[in-house]
Structure formats: structure tokens, C-alpha cells
Chains A and B, each alone.
Chain A
Amino acid sequence: MGIRFILMVNKQGQTRLAQYYEWLTLEERRALEGEIVRKCLARNDQQCSFVEHRNYKIVYRRYASLFFMVGVDDDENELAILEFIHLLVETMDKHFGNVCELDIMFHLEKAHFMLEEMVMNGCIVETSKANILSSIQLMDKAH
């Protein structure tokens, strides 16, 4: 299935965005997020971007205070996911201009819309920034 979940968590361990592509109960999510965040936050820059956790592989990347963590199946192409994170960040950057944690926090809905244009059912659906952002522009127009 590929991507199981996408998390954005800040340095203090607060979740800023969570999108799951498989159903987990709230309890399971809380436990999972806690464990993953603890593992990733404990790592330093010299270590690789991959963490094995239960039957997931976590591919993560840090941008300033914010961690982007993507849970994937064991056999997913890790580097492709790593760059997909960067594509997501660049897309948000293009929209918000100099995107920061607060943008994601206060524009949660837009972050969700972007993600929805990029990933569906755990698979990558679109990688062109222009196409991804077209639906958000549509929404802005509606206002």
C-alpha cells in the first residue's frame, strides 16, 4: 500500500498534522505517535533518515522546528519518500511563501487540501506543484 501515515510534529512533540491511510483507533494513534516522535527526536543530523518501528519504516526529515514523518511499508523506496517530503514542503512553500510551523497550524485545512492532492489511498497521485495547488486556488476563488 505504500504510505501508511504522514505526521508533522514539532520539536516539543506536538502534532501539527496527522493523516492516516489505514484505520487506527485513537489509542493506537496516540501510542504510535508517542513512540515514533520519541525515537526520531532523539536522533541527530549525522544519523540516517530512516527509523524502523514495529512493522513500519519511518522516513523523516526535519525542517527548522518541524519534523515530517512518513510511515511506509518495509519495502517502500525510502529515498523516493524522503524526496516526496521535500516536494510537499516546497509545495507548501510555494503557496504560503516561506512556510513555517504556524502556517501549517493555522491553515490546517490548506495543508490537508494539499496533502489530499498529493497522496490518495497511500499512493502518490500527483507530483506537479502547479497541479497540486490548482484546487486550493479554486477554493480561494470561491471565497
Chain B
Amino acid sequence: MSGMRGLSVFISDIRNCQNKEAERLRVDKELGNIRTCFKNEKVLTPYKKKKYVWKMLYIHMLGYDVDFGHMEAVSLISAPKYPEKQVGYIVTSCLLNENHDFLRLAINTVRNDIIGRNETFQCLALTLVGNIGGRDFSESLAPDVQKLLISSSCRPLVRKKAALCLLRLFRKNPDAVNVDGWADRMAQLLDERDLGILTSSTSLLVALVSNNHEAYSSCLPKCVKILERLARNQHVPQEYTYYGIPSPWLQVKAMRALQYFPTIEDPSTRKALFEVLQRILMGTDVVKNVNKNNASHAVLFEALSLVMHLDAEKEMMSQCVALLGKFISVREPNIRYLGLENMTRMLMVTDVQDSIKKHQSQIITSLKDPDISIRRRALDLLYGMCDVSNAKDIVEELLQYLSTAEFSMREELSLKAAILAEKFAPDLSWYVDVILQLIDKAGDFVSDDIWFRVVQFVTNNEDLQPYAASKAREYLDKIAIHETMLKVSAYILGEYGHLLARQPGCSASELFSILHEKLPTVSTPTIPILLSTYAKLLMHTQPPDPELQKKIWAVFKKYESCIDVEIQQRAVEYFELSKKGAAYMDVLAEMPKFPERQSSLIKKAEDVEDTADQSAIKLRAQQQPSNALVLADPQPVDGAPPPLKVPIVSGSTNPESVARSVSQAYGTLSSIDPQTPSPDLLSDLLGPLAIEAAPGAEQHGPIGAEGVPEEVDGSAIVPVEEQTNSVELIGNIAERFHALCLKDSGVLYEDPHIQIGIKAEWRGHHGRLVLFMGNKNTSPLTSVQALILPPAHLKLDLSPVPDTIPPRAQVQSPLEVMNIRPSRDVAVLDFSYKFGTNMVNAKLRIPATLNKFLQPLQLTSEEFFPQWRALSGPPLKLQEVVRGVRPLALPEMANLFNSFHVTICPGLDPNPNNLVASTTFYSESTGAMLCLARIETDPADRTQLRMTIGSGDPALTFELKEFIKEQLITIPMGSRALVPAAGPGPAPAPPVAQPPSPAALADDPGALLAGLL
């Protein structure tokens, strides 16, 4: 390696390591070496620095943490010579991210390189900014970069990089590109001859157009021109021709850019484009050379997308479908995969569904392909193309495939089969058949939602009840049935078993014995369902069967002392109830119909991690209006309104049901959807500080009867929707928060499944927090979501949190905090996850409180008093008498002040009952600002004091005063766990001074939250 022997030796050593442990030892040794060199050698030669920095990159690539030496890497950027500078730039962009402090230090050097004359330096600097530049780069560099991009004196090698650099700056801050001035320049750029500039400029164009296509409409014909030039192979230099294809990448990019314009109005442009497209569609042949073939097909598939987007004439569309039909039957797996993928996209085009259906059998063949990537595409396509005409066939195929599918696909498959069956069932008995088969074949992968849904359907459709009951009875004859099957059968037979009474083997006592036979093997959650079924069976026996009654009472008796509360309660209550005769009949009467509700299945499908699936679901949702009422059932109840699309459902649905579904969507939103922030943000934030009450229980009207304990309402028996937040907390959230306000690491939240710890570092107005989320279980936590609700004064940037936390694993998520101006508001972390079917949601205050931006500072009397006198009075200096203070001895109070970084300066005040303190506050708007405080206590009455706070900023003075007041009044965080401020009774007298900007506060949920907590 160009003279870096040490590096080669190190790489060889690593290569020779026999195992991971040996590798780690070697790496640790090297890291030690480098660290020592950086520390001890005052002047490192650029060569050595370069060598060490490459080693760091190598170690980083191997997956080891390199948490030092970043400064050295960054410092190479300012080296005068190209080789060092180059290393500095490349390694910096690999090791650091845009929020790294060191990167800010380099802004000036980078800018000097960009505006300097040396074009290789320009390239390096532009690449770095293009790869990791953040918002602050955007603000200071955008004009320079734009200048380079359009400069005619710059060579293409600089300009192409400037284009992608500008793209980054635009993404970080859309204001970096001024639309009015830039649109024309962008169009001019597309007139360039150089294909390098064009390749990167079209990428820039895609980003700009996707943001505002109208402003850039003049670029549209230019894109078509580029395509024409390439398609006709005019003036394409040899070096840009790839296996005979004129830059396939530029062709693809130009066609992609065109897909961001909604349509092409100008007839001559449209005509020119369609000529090119036609040529691509017709002129792409399969050739022997793999690379040439791939390149030409890359262009072809992009052309297909563009044709679909442009809604071409019918003839061209059918040409596309025919091509795709050909592709999905070829042997070459890549083409087959892409054929399936694009056919799924094609479903969005109107009028082609029928021609796609012709390929159904071929697609089904792909569902059995040995390659899982292809099977997934086939599954998606089948799911997308399913409608009432082919539902039976497709669902049949999915069920068949279910038995052989690998585990990773079974859950998705069963969910999709269930949704299709529900949506497109030609008759409901078929739907019941499908779901029962599904449970039978893949019980482990059938979530509770699926069987809850079938129960809802059966309950709401009288015609279906006898059929469902007899089917359920049939499955019970199987030797081994899945527990979910037992649950659903037991439930259905309890409700509707009596409808079968005249059939052989279906008397109440026979049903009881066949169910009860299975009880010893079931898990705890199934037992309550069986008990309810027994109670119902008993109630339905007319005339009463003393024999059966004896048996069932014996069961109830047995479970009366069960350790599980649910089982015990049901056993006791059913036993008592069953002695009551007529009242018993009322309580245990058939369940009333379920209220109309959106299918939780479809909702769930939307949550499915795989975005490929999501695309199909979105697609499906778009076709929804025509299919929503497909279930030809008298009760609109079954029409399963499409989720989220509700307000846009078109005229085909009757208005009443739309209104209902709308009200439903809003009415229950807060309890259903963990993802969308509720429109009523405030109540969402205020109500459940940590844990919401489980919803749903009151949805089913209880059947009133005198003397009936309330617990025996519908919800005890009915499968309720997913329970949310049924976890018990460990520790008190408010106490944990308050502890973290005064220290920088600790536990923020804990329940039986997860522990969230926090570790923070503060420097000036910046803070870096790391959230540690540890899964305490042996099974994964899924649907993990963490959202930050920032107050207006903080800029927060939370790194993405993975969707799943593996068993016993801990994930870390850094959170960057920047304090913009003084405020006591707190940021809130809206955190949720799923454990099994339990959705848990917690809203947690983040301890990025005002005091974190204070730096201790001790002043002498010579320093203090001139400053103190310089602050003349309100609004810079505020005084207030505070009552209701928790009595504290003076040294304790001094400790308290010190603990939140307001440093007591002893001996400054001649009166021994007074305290004088000082601190420095950091925020972006105030910079570092000195704050002074004086507390005058009354030895006769420790519950009151007078405090005077001063600083150079009125808002800061006010906020700090209020903050200190809160601390003085509410620090006792005993077991009561009260939250500070407005709530508790002996609230302090309203402040003399006016709050800084009440209007701003009102707009900010975080602020409201903090004010009301």
C-alpha cells in the first residue's frame, strides 16, 4: 500500500487471525498504539498521521468502535498537501456524521477549499459536504456551491460534484436553493454536453422536481432531449457507452426525473418522448452478453414505469402488459423477478387488470419458485390482483402454499389470505371455511386478530351461525388441533352450539365432553374461554340436564381456587349465576352484534415491516372504493371500511356509512393507532403521562341484570381488540425523571419487558443523550417506535430506532439536543412497542431541562457586585417573594442550588441568612450568558423567602426564576411523586413579571405540557 508498510503489516496480521478473539486482541493492541502515539508525540508527521488514520478506518470497517482520533482525522483536512488532505477528507466522511462537533470546526477549511483555486481540493471538499454536510454547511456554503455548478470556467469534474453537493444541501435545508432564481439555471444545466455533469444534474433535478414540479417545468423538455440524444446515440463519447448502450444510468435517471412531473402537456414533447419510449419497448432484444442484456433491460424497465406513469394509449399499455407477461415466464431469474414487480406496479393503471389476470396461472407457478425473492413478488402480485372474481382461486393457492412455506413467510401469508378472504368473499360461509383452514394449517402464525374477526362476522350474521357452529364441531373431531382452533370453536359452540342440538354428536353434554377432553392440555388464557362456553352450554340445555349440570359445577368448583384471577373469577361467578335460573338466562344470552369497526387485520397489514408489502397494500387501498361493498350482505356492518382512506371514499359508498366510519375513525383514534399522532395532541399528552387505560371494555354493552357483578359484562367473554398498555410499571416515572434532572445517567423507564436508560453529556448549548433500550425478554419486542415531541426551544434529533429489539438485546439511540433559547419546557418521548399482541405506549419526559444548560461558575465579590448593579431592574432583574417553600436548612439549600449548577458564592452577602449564587447559561440565542441570584431567607419562617434573579436576557431571567422556584417548592419527591408547577394547592403567587411570550407557548404542545404537568 503506497509505502505505508505499517498498515500492510497490520492488515496481514488481521488476516492471519485464526478467530474473532485473536482479531479483537490485535485490534485492541493497535488501538492502544495509535492512542499512545496521538497522545505522546507532540508533532506527528503527516505520514504517520495518515497511516494511523487509515488504520482507524480499517478497524472501524471491521466493526470496532473507534472513539478517539477523530480530531486527527479532521485535522488532516487542513494539510497543505494533496495525499494527506485526501485521506483527511475520505476518512472524516466515513467516521463522522453530520452532527459531529469536530465537523463544525472544519467548516472554514472546507469552505476555503471550495472557493479556492485548486480544483482537486474543490472536489474533495465538495464530496465531503455532499456526503455528510449538515444544515450548518447548507447555510454557509450553498451560494458558493451553486456558483461552481453553473460556472463556465469550472471543469466538469468539479461541476458534477457541485451538483450532488447542492443536492445534499437542498435536502438538509430546502431554502438553500431559491426556486425563482434556480429553475432557469437548472434548465440550462441540462443543456450541457458532458455526460458526467448530466448524470449528477439529473439526480439533483429529481430532488428538486419532487419538491416542486411546477417551478421546474422548463426542465421537462430538456430531459426528453437528453433521452433522444442517448436513444439515437448522438454525440455519446465511447467512454460513456456501456456494452454498446449509451450511458444506461443516465437514460434511467432521465426517465425517472420525468416520472416526477404529473403529466406532459406539450404535444410535441409528448410525441418525441413516446417515439423514444416506443423504440425502447420494441427494440430491446434478448442478447447473449449478460451485461449488455442487463443494461438494456434496466432501460426497458424504466421505460415501462414511465409509460405506466404517463397513462399512455391503450395500445401501448397492452404492449407493456404483453412484455411483462413474457418476462414473468422467462427462465432468467432477474428478469422474472422484475417482471413480477413491475406487473404489481401495473395494477395501478386502470383497464389493464383483466389482461393481467390472464397471467394468473403463470404467477401462481412463481409462488412455488425455489427463490424466496421471487415468491415474495408473486405473493404481492397475487394479493394485489385479487378481486371478487378470482378470490377463491387465489386464496386457495395461498392456503396450499401455506403448508410448505418457510416460517419467515407464514405469518405474512396467513394475514394476506385472511384479508383477501374477508374482502372478497363471494359468500360468508366460504370466508369461515378459509379462516378455519388457516388456523388449522398454520395456527402458530394466525394472530388473535384473525380469529377475533371471524367471531365478529359470525356474531353479526345470523345465517352464518349454524354453519360456523357445525364447522367448528367438525374440527373438534380431529385428533390434534391447534389451541387457537380450540378457542374459536369453543367460543362459537358456546354461542351457537344449541343451533345444532338435533344433529348427532351435538347435544350440549356431548359438546361439553369433547371440549372438556382438551382442557388439560391448554394454556391458561384458553381456560376462561372454555369456562364461558360451559356456562353457555349449561344455560342452553332445555330442559335442564342435571347430569351435565353436575359435571360443569364440578369444573367451576375446581377452578374456584385457581391461582389465575381471571379463571377464578369466572369460575366463581358462573357458578353463582348458574344457580339463579331466569336471571342467568339474561346474563348469558347471546352476544349482541358487534359495532361496526375497521378491520384490525388491514391495519395490521399496514404495520407489516416489509415496505414491499406496504406498496401492495397502498395499491389495494386505492382500488378500495369499488370493492369496499363487495360483501353482499344486508348489514353494512360487514363492509369493513378501508382504514385511513375513509374520508376519501368516493360516491360508490353510501354517505351514511361514510359518516359513520369517519366518526369511528376519529372517535376511537386515540385508542387504536399508535403511529399517527392523535389530532387531539394535548389530551393525548396530558392524559396518559405513562400508561393509558386499556380501551375497548365499554364498547360492548353489558346486559344488565340485577345483582350481576359488573365484571360479567360482555367484555369478559368477548375477545376484545388488542389490549393496549396492560403492563405494570417498575418504579415511578415521575421520580425517575426528577432524579435524571439532577444527574446524567440512569433509568428513565422500566416495565417487565423493557428498560430504557439514558446517558447524557452536555457541552454549552449542545447535549448528546443516548437512549439505551434493553429488551428483558426472551422474545423480541416489535413495532418499536420512538417519536420526539420537541418543545419550541429545543432542536432534537433522534437517530432512528430499529423496529424490532431482539431478545435480551439492547439497542442504543443517540439523541442530539440543541438549546435555542431559555425555556423550562420539556421534550417528550412518545415511545411504544408491541409485546406479543400487547401494544404498550408511554409518554416520557426527557431530562433535557433548563439546568442542563447551566455551567457552574463561582464569582468573587469584585466580579459579582459590578454585574449585579449593572442589572438595574425588571425585566432583566426580577424579584419575587415565594411562599410554600419546603423548609430547608441553609446548607441544604446551598447543596440544592449547587446540584443544578447554580453555584453558591459563599461569603459574598454580609447577611448570613442570605445566599448569593452565579451560573452561566448556554443557548443559541443568548450565547453564554451570566446569571446571578440572591436568596434572602427568613430564619423565623423557613417556608418563605425572597429571591432576586438577574441576567442579560429578560426571558432567561424569568425562566430561571421560575425554574428555581419549582425546585424550591417541589423537590421532595417522596412516594407521592407529584409533578411540579401549577397543579398542587399551595401554588406560588403569580409572578410579578409577565411571561415572555404566551402566544408562542400556546402553539407549542411541549410548552403546554410542561405548563400543565
Contacts and interface: CB of A to CB of B under 8 A. Distances in A.
Contacts of A46: 333, 370-371
A124 interface: yes
B240 A55 contact: no
A41 interface: no
Interface in A1-30: 2, 15, 17-21, 23, 25-30
Contacts of B248: 80, 83
Contacts of A55: 609-611
Given A80-B249, A139-B86, A108 B130 contact: no
Nearest to A49: B334
A38 interface: no
B242 interface: yes
Nearest to A143: B2
A135 B164 contact: no
B131 interface: yes
B3 A74 contact: no
A17 B61 contact: yes
B373 A51 contact: yes
Interface string A52-92: 10110000000000000000001001111011101100000
Contacts of A143: 2-3, 83
Nearest to B804: A54
A128 B237 contact: yes
Given A2-B203, A116-B127, A125-B164, A139 B83 contact: yes
Contact of B203 (A33, A113, A124, A140): A124
Contact of A27 (B8, B120, B612, B811): B811
A77 B812 CA distance: 33
A31 to B, nearest CB: 8
A79 B294 contact: yes
Interface string A113-130: 100100011011111111
A126 B802 contact: no
Contact of B195 (A21, A25, A128, A138): A128
Contacts of A52: 373, 376, 610, 612
Contacts of A86: 291, 294
B11 A106 contact: yes
Contact of A79 (B86, B123, B334): B334
Contact of B252 (A17, A80, A131): A80
A121 B15 contact: no
Interface in B90-135: 90, 94, 97-98, 120, 123, 127, 130-132
Contacts of B65: 26
B62 interface: yes
Instruction: Give the contact-size bracket for chain B.
Output: 35 or more
B164 A112 contact: no
> What secondary structure prevails in chain B residues at the interface with A?
helix
B97 A124 contact: no
Contact of A48 (B94, B167, B247, B336): B336
B451 interface: no
B154 interface: no
A26 B636 CA distance: 52
Contacts of B87: 109
Interface stretch (B297-305, B528-536, B963-971): B297-305
B90 A47 contact: no
B157 interface: yes
Interface in B341-386: 370-371, 373-374, 376
A31 B341 CA distance: 27
Contacts of B487: none
A50 B334 contact: yes
Nearest to B132: A23
B82 interface: yes
Contact of B249 (A21, A48, A124, A130): A124
Interface string A91-108: 000000000000001111
Of B81, B161, B239, B373, the most chain A CB neighbours within 10 A belong to B373
Contacts of A47: 333, 370-371, 373-374
B82 A138 contact: yes
B988 interface: no
A2 to B, nearest CB: 7
B741 interface: no
Given A74-B611, A79-B301, A142-B83, A21 B131 contact: yes
Which 3 pairs, one residue from A and one from B, show the smallest C-beta to C-beta distance? A79-B298, A48-B333, A128-B239
Given A23-B132, A77-B256, A142-B81, 15 more contacts: A23-B799, A26-B60, A26-B64, A46-B370, A48-B334, A48-B371, A55-B611, A78-B334, A86-B294, A120-B161, A120-B164, A125-B161, A126-B199, A130-B239, A143-B83
14 contacts: A21-B131, A23-B799, A74-B615, A77-B301, A79-B298, A86-B291, A86-B294, A106-B11, A108-B57, A109-B87, A112-B90, A116-B90, A120-B161, A121-B164
Interface of A: 2, 15, 17-21, 23, 25-31, 33, 43, 46-52, 54-55, 74, 77-80, 82-84, 86-87, 105-109, 112-113, 116, 120-121, 123-131, 134-135, 138-140, 142-143
